Amino acid sequence: MTKWNRPREARTPSRIRAIALLGALSCSASWSISANAATATCESLTSLTLPNATITSAQSIPAGTYTPPGFGPITNLPAFCRVVGVIRPTSDSSIGFEVWMPKSGWNHRFTQIGNGGLAGTYALMYSSTSSMMQRGYAIAGTDDGHTATDPASWPIGHPEKVKDLAWRAVHETSVASKQVIASFYGTEARYSYFQGCSTGGKEAFMEAQRFPEDFDGIIGGAAAMRYTDLIARFVWDEQAQLNDPAGYIPTSKLPAIQRAALNACDTVDGIADGVVNDPRQCRFDPGVLQCPGADNASCLTAPQVSALRKIYSGPVNPRTGEKIIFGYEPSGENSFGTQTWTAYIAGANGPTSAAQYTVMNSFNKYLVFEDPNWDFRTFDFDTGVTQMHQKLDPVPFDATSADLSRFQERGGKLLQYHGWIDYSVSPLESIDYYERVLATHTPGKGNGRGERDVAIRRTQDFYRLFMAPGMNHCAGGDGPNAFGQILSYGLISNTPPPSHDADHDIVTALENWVEKGIAPEKLIATKYTSDDPTKGIQMQRPLCPYPQKARFKGQGSGSSNSAESFTCEVDEDDRGRNSQ
């Protein structure tokens, strides 16, 4: 039996690992626990002694609807214990965390929810509590060491707080939350999971790379792993549109851009359905939209064509010509949902309302350059990017290591997903990272079909990537986009899958892989009409483990809106090629 196929019993359970870790952390601390310890009342948890952490409140919440601070009402909750605390691993740290634990029906599982954007809130945890606690999970989250009400300048002069945001808060919250759960229930969680998208996706991979003992299973979506370069590309996009005001592309022109991209790309996969299966196969030049005469909503001016080409291509070093980070893929410019081109690039209320504009200005002014007068218009993509890495690489802020060997060897399982029309984090980032992990499993020095197939088998034994055609950043879009995933910053609720079986729900798929050794061969994604489950299912499509993709069986095989009409196959031209 290979190390990639060890049964669950052969691994070290997370509850035993937690005890070992606690021993190393607490040494002289008075807190201890045994597997047979008596359960504690919720309110008594305020007296719990934890290394580097303090419980500030512990409150019993009755079943029904509860409204946490700064958030809307959450319905359909079981009776639970809400624990709030703060962790201080350094004198300058103040990591807020919360743990919500159902009072009955606990399934002996713990899940931690990642953050979004620049963190500072519990919004993503709160939006997940009802669905996860109904399933019996104890659930936790963190503000990553600062709050949304802090002034934007909070990183200046606080390098330890920057480390908390980059990686430490998630790890420390995992350790403290497991202790709280063990005290409340009198036994440790048997399985520990992490779920996150966007910034939470980066947190997912940071955990797998740096703290492989924290979680048995991890779900990471649209992961902003190369966060430093991602912020640089936000600057690139905004410069492309705003350094020359004539280059700004208003939202009124997005329908024409998407229509032209679909005209060029939609039928490449053999189906005219408004969803491009693999945009890498698309050959779309925005020049076809250049206005032959007067400017209007159906065409682009020459400066707008230039700006759009830059956004698609992504930033390059002006001195060396080297690509800094991937660009975006065409065909979803006017897609349906909240996590769209409008939200991230154009801005619903003009260019300064775009998420990219807001995030890159705050990040660079206060976290990187520590200069409130920093001006993105003068940013140099040679010296500026170097300065960003000089500041952030020692933290480290990025989660780029392709070495997942420790996570693999202790039996961890990792599921990754990414929407093909993501206009925040390029989908090519996920493919590129997966290819780099594949390279660590290639038996020889070549890239022949045999060696690549071996690498894929070895990697897919613990790590699988699912690309979602027609899906925006974490969710939404014109294609099937609901499969039980946690969503991203700016979304206040999750769109549930039609059922919680392993085919339709990524959480169940991960549970089955971790606990039963059953790896997901596909995920069936669902597109509801107007993304509203009450309006019925419009389309379903299988998401296949990369490098496979969904292939329509052809006429006579059924509707192209049905998942049963597709198989998962590898294109011949995908064998041996990477993402570039």
Q: List, in sequence order, every residue forming a beta bridge with 540; answer none if it has no partner.
A: 526
Residue 89: partners with Cβ closer than 8 Å, 6 or more residues away = 52, 95, 164, 168, 172
Beta-ladder partners of 549 = 569
- Residue 294 sits at φ, ψ, to 5 deg, of -70, 145
At residue 577, the 3 state secondary structure works out as coil
Contact by Cβ (8 Å): 56, 86: yes
Catalytic residue among 127, 198, 331, 565: 198
Which alpha helices (DSSP H) does 33-140 contain, by range? 123-134
Question: Tokens 């200005």 label which residue?
Answer: 361
Q: Looking at the DSSP assignment, which residues form a beta bridge with residue 193?
A: 111, 217
Query: Shortest CA distance to 520 belongs to which of 512, 529, 528?
Result: 512
Query: Which CA distances in Å does 374 have to 344, 353, 391?
Result: 21, 18, 15
Quote the DSSP letter at residue 391: H
Selecting among 171, 418, 441, 473, the annotated active-site residue is 473
SS3 (DSSP) at 66:
strand
Please provide the DSSP assignment of 24-53 as one string: HHHTT-S----TTPPP--TGGGGG--BTTE
**Distance between CA atoms of 344 and 450, rounded to whole angstroms?**
41
Is 504 annotated in the active site? no
Q: H or E stretch including 112?
A: strand 109-113
Give the separation between CA 489 and CA 491, rounded to whole angstroms.
6
Residues across the chain: 580
> Any catalytic annotation for residue 505?
no
Tracing tokens 């503000």 back to the chain, one arrives at: 143
- Can you spell out the DSSP letters for 424-445? SS-HHHHHHHHHHHHHHT-SSS
**Which H or E run includes 549?**
strand 549-552
The two structure tokens encoding residue 415: 């599921």
Distance CA 306, CA 461 (A): 44
| Residue 295 annotated to the active site | no
Q: Which of 143, 164, 214, 422 is catalytic?
A: 422
Distance between CA atoms of 444 and 467, rounded to whole angstroms? 27
Contact 318, 199 (CB under 8 A): no
* 301-312 b/e (C-beta count within 10 Å ≥ 16 → b): bebbbbbbebbe
Task: Label the pairing between strands 95-102 and 64-66.
Answer: unpaired
Which positions are annotated as active-site residues?
198, 422, 473
